Amino acid sequence: MQFCVMHRRHLLTAILSTLLVLTLMAGGAAAQGAPFSVERLVVGTDVQDREPVGITDVFPAGTEIVFCFLEARDISQPVKVQMVWYFGEEEVARVPLSLGAGARWRTYASKKIGDRQGNWKVYLQDDADQVLGSVQFVVE
């Protein structure tokens, strides 16, 4: 009887260990299969010399334009992405962008804010609309 209980414990331990290893391997494969990693996704008041300026998540009323800046790393192949801008829950812009293959790529999109005060979001999406990153900000 004691042998049977010990055997079941060892069998259960082996099964759980195998599942853990398989789960870790699947996670690593998914990360390796990603087209790139998002190093920075920020919003600011401008982009100068290929760098974001005035990075913040709160903009004063009267802000005319906001820039969303992306720095991608380890781009395995050329890829198309889009920055999807939301004011509240309403989509107000969809800006397609292309990234070239390489170690590092920087790009940005901008949006005229007008007189729209409140909560904003920008989603970085791939061409299948999968969200790769997001940033939120407020116009007071």
At residue 1, the 3 state secondary structure works out as coil
pLDDT value at residue 33:
55
Domain CATH for 134 = 2.70.50.30
Cα separations in angstroms, 45 against 49, 91, 102: 14, 21, 27
- Per the structure, the count of domains in the chain is 2
Tens digit of pLDDT for each residue in 25-81? Answer: 333 333 445 689 999 999 999 999 999 999 999 999 999 999 999 999 999 999 999
Backbone angles phi, psi at 104, to 5 degrees: -155, 140
Listed residue (61, 67, 84) closest to 132, CA to CA: 84
Q: Which domain holds residue 6?
A: 1-33
- On whether both 113 and 60 belong to a single domain, the answer is yes
pTM for the structure as a whole: 0.76
- On whether both 22 and 89 belong to a single domain, the answer is no
Confidence of residue 12 (pLDDT cuts 50, 70, 90): very low
- On whether both 23 and 92 belong to a single domain, the answer is no
Answer for the pair 109, 98: CB distance below 8 angstroms, yes or no.
Answer: no
- On whether both 27 and 43 belong to a single domain, the answer is no
